[in-house]
Amino acid sequence: MAFDGLTIYALTNEFKEKLIGGRIDKIHQPEKDEVVLHIRTMENKFKLVLSASSAHPRIHFTEISKKNPQTAPMFCMLMRKHLIGAKIIGIEQEGLDRILKLIFETRNEMGDVVQITGIIEIMGRHSNFIVVDQDGRIIDSIKRVDDTMSSVRPILPGMRYVLPPAQDKLLLTEASPEEMVDAILHGKDVPLSKAILNAVQGVSPLVCREIANYVFLGDDCVVSEMNDDRKDRLRFYLGRVQDMVKNHSGIPTAISDSKGKPQDFSFLDIHQYGAAMVSRQYESYS
């Protein structure tokens, strides 16, 4: 999916600039797998969507108001109990994974200052929004996962929160372009875009195809067809993407077909579709 770790990295920077110090005014749950936080800062008000939809998991600002159920779901009531009035004191991404943590400061029933963390995991049909106390134990989640659903990682109230199994991939923000090229070339002899996806964390198939498109001048050939010139092009483009991510210099870009229907989005210009798609830039990733 286009909503990859690098896009979340860019979103995290945007959220930090706008939301740190903000307080939760309202909480709604318009869908069974979607929560909307109404956040008030000194300068503005925001509505933040946290969606654990199997088809379209995401986190972003919105100006759209959905109709809410007359009776709030139990998860929404629990969120209101713990988070109304809470202050956002931190926003963290887990590596370059599609996991974002919203750290809140609030008071418990005894009046003590405590921290609560809301964790949005954007992982296709395994997506979830999990609320964790300061001791690392799950208060509740928008999707409960019991032993019959997952013997590896059940998610239930009272259990200790554990991260999903780690992937053996290089972090694009930490590994050098040379290290990434070496890992890509020493993997399986598959199309370059797939080799990049297998070796580097945080990149979507869309971004991998865009890198391969640059390296092979429009094609996506297998790794064994890489010559010295193509290796240099791969090293250069990986370095360019790395600088763009680290310096937050990416530009929110959406790709639409000739009828104006959105097809893809990213933090960089997309050229792999040629004249078949129209590119448009935005001020915000949301």
Residues 140, 78: contact at Cβ < 8 Å?
A: yes
According to the 3-state scheme, what is the secondary structure of 222-252?
EHHHCCHHHHHHHHHHHHHHHHHHHCCCCCC
Q: Give the whole-angstrom CA distance, residue 45 versus residue 59.
A: 16
Residues 278, 264: contact at Cβ < 8 Å?
A: no
Per-residue confidence (pLDDT) for residue 194, from 0 to 100: 96
Per-residue confidence (pLDDT) for residue 1, from 0 to 100: 54
- Scored b (16 or more CB within 10 A) or e, 100-121 reads bbbbbebeeeeeeeeebbbbbb
Per-residue confidence (pLDDT) for residue 58, from 0 to 100: 94
Model pTM above 0.85: yes
Q: Give the whole-angstrom CA distance, residue 201 versus residue 173.
A: 9
Per-residue confidence (pLDDT) for residue 229, from 0 to 100: 96
Per-residue confidence (pLDDT) for residue 147, from 0 to 100: 84
Q: Is the dihedral of CA 274, 280, 281, 282 positive or negative?
A: negative
Per-residue confidence (pLDDT) for residue 111, from 0 to 100: 86
Per-residue pLDDT of the chain (286 residues; tens, 9 = 90+): 578 999 999 999 999 999 999 999 999 999 999 999 999 999 999 999 999 999 999 999 999 999 999 999 999 999 999 999 999 999 999 999 999 999 999 998 888 999 999 999 999 899 999 999 999 999 999 999 998 888 789 999 999 999 998 888 999 999 999 999 999 999 889 999 999 999 999 999 999 999 999 999 888 899 999 999 999 999 999 999 999 999 999 999 999 998 999 998 999 999 999 888 999 999 999 9
